[in-house]
């Protein structure tokens, strides 16, 4: 079954502390993995995708096929990072490219 699991509903850290948002997936094939972010009162937007191997706003995510994980990390959290984060996957090719989302993790960065 295709599934994305984000085990933490809420992650609270202090400003300057490291952040790791966990994401595990189940997919029979080679998925494409993404992180989406939703800031307060804003629309859902793409943060980063694993195929780009990019770092956005200091966040990085490494795809670990052995552990089927795609954890999102940032070495020093900022207050403006407070938001809802969703991990998502889609399959290679196919006619649909629909996204399968996790339930999200609310990151709260305390001053």
Interface contacts to other proteins, rule CB under 8 A? 4, 6, 32, 34, 42-46, 49, 51, 86, 88, 90, 95-104
| The two three-digit tokens of residue 38, written as one number | 């939703």
Residue 79, classed as helix, strand or coil, is helix
Which of 99/108 has CB closer to other proteins? 99
Could you tell me the smallest distance in angstroms from the CB atom of residue 83 to other proteins?
14
DSSP for 32-53, please give it: EEEEEEE-TTS--EEEEEGGGT
Which of 53/98 has CB closer to other proteins? 98
What is the distance between the alpha carbons of residues 67 and 74, in angstroms, rounded to a whole number?
20
Could you tell me the smallest distance in angstroms from the CB atom of residue 73 to other proteins?
21
Could you tell me the smallest distance in angstroms from the CB atom of residue 8 to other proteins?
13
Residue 3 region by backbone torsions, left for phi larger than 0, else alpha for psi between -120 and 50, else beta:
beta
Which of 15/38 has CB closer to other proteins? 38
What is the distance between the alpha carbons of residues 102 and 111, in angstroms, rounded to a whole number?
28
Could you tell me the smallest distance in angstroms from the CB atom of residue 93 to other proteins?
9
Which of 49/71 has CB closer to other proteins? 49
């Amino acid at each position: 079954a295709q599934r994305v699991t984000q085990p933490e509903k809420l992650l609270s850290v202090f400003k300057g502390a490291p952040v790791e948002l966990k994401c595990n997936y189940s997919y029979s094939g080679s998925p494409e993995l993404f992180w989406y972010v939703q800031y307060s009162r804003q629309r859902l937007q793409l943060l980063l995708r694993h195929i780009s191997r990019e770092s956005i706003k200091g966040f990085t995510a490494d795809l670990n096929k052995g552990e089927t994980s795609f954890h999102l990390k940032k070495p020093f959290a900022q207050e403006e990072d407070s938001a809802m984060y969703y991990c998502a996957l889609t399959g290679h090719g196919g006619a649909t490219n629909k996204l399968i989302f996790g339930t999200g993790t609310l990151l709260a960065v305390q001053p």
